[in-house]
Structure 1
Amino acid sequence: MRVFRAVVVAAPTISLCAPLASAAPGSPTTGSLGSSLSNSPAEDATGEARLGTLKDENLDQVRQLLQERDVEPSTIERLVDKTKAGFLLDADNPDMEPISTETDENARRVVERQTFADGSVAIVEKEGPKQRNDGGNVIAPADIGGCHIYVHQDWYRHDNCLISYNGINFSYSFRADYSAARFTGVAGVIRRVFAPVVHRSIGANPTSNNVYILREWQDGNISAEAAQTIQFQPWGGWWSWSAHLRLHVLNNTAWTST
């Protein structure tokens, strides 16, 4: 599982499919998926994760996205060739771990740039700070895009906050209402998750897109957890694979993982 300690200046998004949402925005969706969530890319007979056949305009879009991530030109062409052959780039492969991470973090958002062994780059973001360390002092309300942060009783409440994954071929997000503790001994909680969206899908179509609260309240040292799970079917293929984006809240800390 990739873990990202970070949401909010994503690279420009090229939408190739209409947003696919399941739970109606504003309606909490809960489930007990737990260990049933797994990242399983589609595989051919060699065991390699594969995409469907891409057209030249699709390859140009991949090239543009890599250029916007400041990937070296020689690496870009190698990655375009890899995509043309139908292979997932490491940044889009749930089984691959980044080899380096750059974090841009402040009091309102966390953005991580993840670089992978093949040279591809993913951006993962979470609106709201990673951690509050002001001793429970009352803070002025803060708004970050659609995210509203304010004090409510024993918690820092975060409403309508974006949780986002932005790879190369694939980009998706959801929004969450969650509460981080102001004081020691107060449990973190995810109150609502909604508006799951697939922003970009090159080489595969999303056939389902759901967001669930897997654990509403933290349980001891086990974080509260929510997950977006998307089923993708490669263009022209009959098989499918799943991708996941998770939000965790533990005491006064919140982070994302895939």
Structure 2
Amino acid sequence: MTAPTATVSPGNDSPPLIEIHGISKVYRMGTNEVYALRQVDLLVRRGEFIAIMGTSGSGKSTMMNILGCLDTPTSGSYRLDGVKVDGLSRNALADLRNAKLGFVFQGFNLLSRTSAIDNVELPLLYDRTHTPRDTKALARAALERVGLGGRMDHHPSELSGGQQQRVAIARALVTSPTLILADEPTGNLDSRTTLDVMSLFQELNDQGITILLVTHEPEVSQYAKRIVEMRDGRIRRDHPVENHRRAAEDLRAHDSGEVAA
């Protein structure tokens, strides 16, 4: 067995936001064992923007589910913002997710018969700490933050794909998460809308929000600051993005009919 290589994010001495060591995930099917992850090590610092890449079956979705406290590893250790995750109960995992994480999905996952503001407000209503706060005002502020202040009362069917994804991003932001996890967030979008959404992610990252994005699209990964490439349940390569692109610039070039360099 090849010894796992510790993966450390470059150029940042702050305490790790995510720290996993020796994480494995094994699915047992009768007498067979299928390894989705094999002895993975990863450090993520605050303020990073990381793209996790890999083909189907590489382990990237399993990695995202474990990082998002949606699944538990078979072995290994995981700390999220200083909290020891492995070994927590289901309720404790749910509370940690709600307190620390925001999720953005490929299919938007919006309630079709519910307005944008009510969709965004939803995570606040599931807060079991019952912290007194104006949930409508927080949802409104999150929608304004993603440029949808004028679409608060619209239903998903009245919004474009890009606007629906912006609502989903606002919903991820409304709890003031420590980390946003985005799973193929541009997978259902055309090229222009992809640039629009990636521009928003870069803007949020510039504001200090840590983002982990799963994608199979190399061109999308170039808008991140760091790429983690997975294959066969292992991290095969972890490197900074040398030619870091700005999606807003590429969007302006797209709209003017120019070809992005």
Structures share a fold, TM > 0.5?
Answer: no
TM-score after normalising by structure 2 = 0.26
- Greater share of strand: 1
TM-score after normalising by structure 1 = 0.27
